[in-house]
Amino acid sequence: MSGVTLSLAGKVALITGGSRGIGAETVRLFRQAGASVVFNYRTAKAPAYALVEEVGGAKHCIALPQELSTPDQGRALVEETVRAFGRIDILVANHGVWPAEDAPIAKMSTEQWRQTLAVNLDSVFGLAQGAVTHMQRQPRLSPEAAAGHIVFISSTAGQRGEANHADYAASKGALISLTKSLASELAPQGIYVNCVAPGWVETDMSAPALADPATSAKIFATIPLGRVARPTEVAAPILFLCTSYAGFMTGEIVDVNGGAVLAG
C-alpha cells in the first residue's frame, strides 16, 4: 500500500513573507508538494536567494523584493506572480508586523496604528483582490480542481485580543472576519478561503520575547503543550488546506497554538 501524498503538482502559489520563519517553511513544503512558488521579501535578500536555490532554483521558485503596506503593492505582487508562471492557484498571506514594544492604547501613536494595519490588512486586501480576479477568469487545471485557494495567517491575538498590542490584534481579528466573508462569497465559484491562527512560534519576530527568561516563562505557562510551535508545524496545516483533502473546508479558522486559546 502506498503512502498518502499531499500534492500541489502543476499549481502556482504566492506566499508572502517567504524568506524566513513560517513563510520559509511553507515555501519548502509547497515545493516538496510540487508547486511552483513565488515569495516576497523586504530586507532578507541573502536568506531569500539561498532558499530559492535550496528548493530547486529559479525555474520553480522566485523571490521578489516587495514592500507590502498598500493594496496596490499587493496587487502588483500578484501580477508579478502571474507574469512569472502564467497563473495563480494559491495565495498564502503570511507577512505581517508585530511591534514588540508594549503600547497602551492611551499612548499608541497614530503612526504605529496606521502602519500595522497597512501591512497586516491593507496589503492583504490588494493581494486577495488581485488573486481572486485571476482565479475567476483563468482555466482550471482539471474539471475537478478548485478554482483557487486562499489562506490568511491570523493569530491567537486576533481571537482573544492582546493587551498593549491593540493594533496587531485588530488587524489579525480583521483577517478572521475577512476569511468568513470571502469564503461565503467565493465558494460558489470554487475558490476556497481559510485561515490558520498560530500562537507563539519560533521565529525571528518572537525571538526577543522567547530569549527573555521571565517573558518566556509567562508565555510557556499559557500553552498547555508547554512549548512554542516550530515553523513547520504551522506550515503543514497551510499545505493541507490547499490540497484536495481539504475539499469540504472553507471559511475555517484552524488553530495551531498548543491549546493556548483553550487556556484563556
State CA 65 to chain mean position distance: 17
Please say if 245 is a catalytic residue. Answer: no
Catalytic residue of the set 41, 49, 168, 192: 168
User: Phi/psi at 19 (nearest 5 deg)?
Assistant: -85, -20
Contact present, 254 and 202 (Cβ < 8 Å): no
For residue 39, the cross-strand partners are: 15, 63
User: What is the side-by-side strand order in the sheet with 12-15?
Assistant: 61-65, 36-41, 12-15, 90-93, 148-153, 191-198, 253-256
- Altogether, the residues listed in the chain come to a count of 264
Active site residues: 168
